[in-house]
Amino acid sequence: MQITLQNFTKKFDDVTVIENMNLEIKDGEMLALLGPSGCGKSTTLFAICGIHRVNGGKILFGDQDVSDLPSQKRNVGVVFQSYALYPHMNAYENIAFPLKVRKDKPADIKRQVHEIAKLTHIEELLERKPGQLSGGQQQRVALARALIRKPDVLLLDEPLANLDAKLRLEMRSEIRRIQLETGITAILVTHDQVEAMSMCDRIALMHDGKIVQLDKPSEMYNNPANKFVADFLGNPPITFLDAEHKDKTLLLPNGHSIASPNLNAAVKKVQVGIRPECFGPQFGMGVKGVVKFIEKQGREELFDIQLTDGSILRSIQASGSDLEVGADIDWGLSLDDLLFFDMQGERL
Amino acid sequence: MSHNFRHWPIITILTIVSLPLIIMFAFQIIDTFTTHPIDSMIPNKVTFEQFSFLWDEAETGRANIWQVTLNTFIFATTTAVVVCTVSMTTAYALSRLNFPGRRYFLGGLIILHAFPTVTLIIAIFLILQIIGLYDTLLGVIMVKAALELPFGIWIMKGFYDNVPWEIEMAGVQDGASRFTVWWKLVLPQVQPGIFALMIFSFLSGWSEFLLPQVLAPGNDAQVLSTYMTALIADDTKIDFALFKAVGMFYALPVIAIYLIFQKKLMNIYGGGTKG
Ligand SMILES: Nc1ncnc2c1ncn2[C@@H]1O[C@H](COP(=O)(O)OP(=O)(O)OP(=O)(O)O)[C@@H](O)[C@H]1O
Ligand SMILES: [Mg+2]
List pLDDT tens digits, range B1-46. 456 667 888 889 999 999 999 998 888 888 888 877 777 777 777 7
Q: Is the peptide bond before B9 cis (omega within 30 degrees of 0)?
A: no
pLDDT band at B272; cut points 50, 70, 90: very low
pLDDT band at B275; cut points 50, 70, 90: very low
pLDDT given at position A215 = 92
pLDDT given at position A298 = 85
Are residues B175 and B145 both part of a single domain? yes
pLDDT given at position A229 = 92
Are residues B30 and B107 both part of a single domain? no
Longest dimension (CA), chain A: 78
Q: Reply yes or no on whether the pLDDT at B182 is more than 90.
A: yes
Residue A106 Cβ inside 6 Å of ligand 1? The answer reads: no
pLDDT band at B231; cut points 50, 70, 90: confident
Q: Is residue B54 part of a domain?
A: no
Element (DSSP H or E) covering residue A275: none
**CA angle (B274 as vertex; B105, A128 as ends), nearest 5:** 135
pLDDT given at position B5 = 65
Are residues B220 and B101 both part of a single domain? yes
Are residues B209 and B75 both part of a single domain? yes
Q: For chains A and B, count residue pairs whose Cβ atoms are closer than 8 Å.
A: 61
pLDDT given at position B16 = 92
Residue A127, min C-alpha distance to chain B (Å): 14
**Lowest mean pLDDT across A83-92, A173-182, A234-243, B232-241:** B232-241
Are residues B213 and B165 both part of a single domain? yes
Are residues B33 and B106 both part of a single domain? no
Are residues B27 and B86 both part of a single domain? no
Q: Is residue B53 part of a domain?
A: no
**CA-nearest residue of chain B to A77?**
B173
Does A77 contact B180 at a Cβ distance shorter than 8 Å? no
Residue B82: CATH number of its domain: 1.10.3720.10
Q: Reply yes or no on whether the pLDDT at B56 is more than 80.
A: no
Looking at ligand 1, which residue's alpha carbon is closest to its atom 28?
Answer: A38
Which of chain A's residues have a Cβ under 8 Å away from the Cβ of B172?
50-51, 70-72
Q: Is residue B1 part of a domain?
A: no
Q: Is residue B104 part of a domain?
A: yes
| More confident: B161 or A262 | B161
Q: Is residue B2 part of a domain?
A: no
Q: Is residue B109 part of a domain?
A: yes
List strand residue ranges (DSSP E) for A28-124, in order: 30-34, 56-61, 64-65, 76-79
pLDDT, tens digit, 9 for 90 and up, residues A291-338: 999 998 888 889 999 988 888 889 998 888 888 888 888 888 888 888
pLDDT band at B51; cut points 50, 70, 90: confident
CA distance linking residue A178 with residue A140, whole number of Å: 10
Q: What is the mean pLDDT of chain A?
A: 90
| More confident: B76 or A234 | B76
Number of compact structural domains in chain B:
2
Q: pTM, whole model, 2 decimals?
A: 0.81
Element (DSSP H or E) covering residue B133: none
pLDDT given at position B269 = 57
Share of chain B above pLDDT 90, in %: 38
What's the rounded mean pLDDT across residues B243-256? 88
What's the rounded mean pLDDT across residues B122-141? 91
> Does B174 reach chain A within 8 Å, measured CB to CB?
yes
Q: Work out which ligand 1 atom sits closest to the CA atom of A13.
A: 4
What's the rounded mean pLDDT across residues A95-123? 93
Does A102 contact B175 at a Cβ distance shorter than 8 Å? yes
pLDDT, tens digit, 9 for 90 and up, residues A162-203: 888 888 888 899 899 989 999 999 999 998 888 999 999 999
Are residues B65 and B199 both part of a single domain? yes
Sheet holding A3-12, edge to edge: A15-25, A3-12, A56-61, A64-65
Residues 6+ apart with CB under 8 A from B247: B28, B228
Q: Reply yes or no on whether the pLDDT at B274 is more than 50.
A: no
Cα dihedral A309, A311, A316, A319 sign: positive
Q: Are A156 and A79 in contact (CB under 8 A)?
A: yes
Are residues B133 and B80 both part of a single domain? yes
Are residues B213 and B241 both part of a single domain? yes
Domains of chain A with bracketed CATH? 3-232 (3.40.50.300), 239-341 (2.40.50.140)
- Select from A45, A48, A69, A78 the residue whose CB has the most chain B CBs within 10 Å, as the one to mutate to test that interface: A78
pLDDT band at A18; cut points 50, 70, 90: very high
pLDDT given at position B60 = 64
Q: Are B215 and B135 in contact (CB under 8 A)?
A: yes
**CA-nearest residue of chain B to A131?**
B275
Are residues B21 and B136 both part of a single domain? no
Q: Is residue B94 part of a domain?
A: yes
Are residues B128 and B39 both part of a single domain? no
Q: Is residue B25 part of a domain?
A: yes
- Select from A71, A94, A102, A145 the residue whose CB has the most chain B CBs within 10 Å, as the one to mutate to test that interface: A71
What's the rounded mean pLDDT across residues A241-256? 84
CA distance linking residue A45 with residue A189, whole number of Å: 8
CA of A222 to the centre of ligand 2 (A): 27
pLDDT, tens digit, 9 for 90 and up, residues B188-226: 999 988 998 999 899 999 999 888 988 888 878 888 888
CA distance linking residue B53 with residue B63, whole number of Å: 11
Q: What is the mean pLDDT of chain B?
A: 85
Domain that residue B40 falls in: 8-47
Q: At what angle do helices A135-147 and A106-119 cross, to 10 degrees?
A: 130
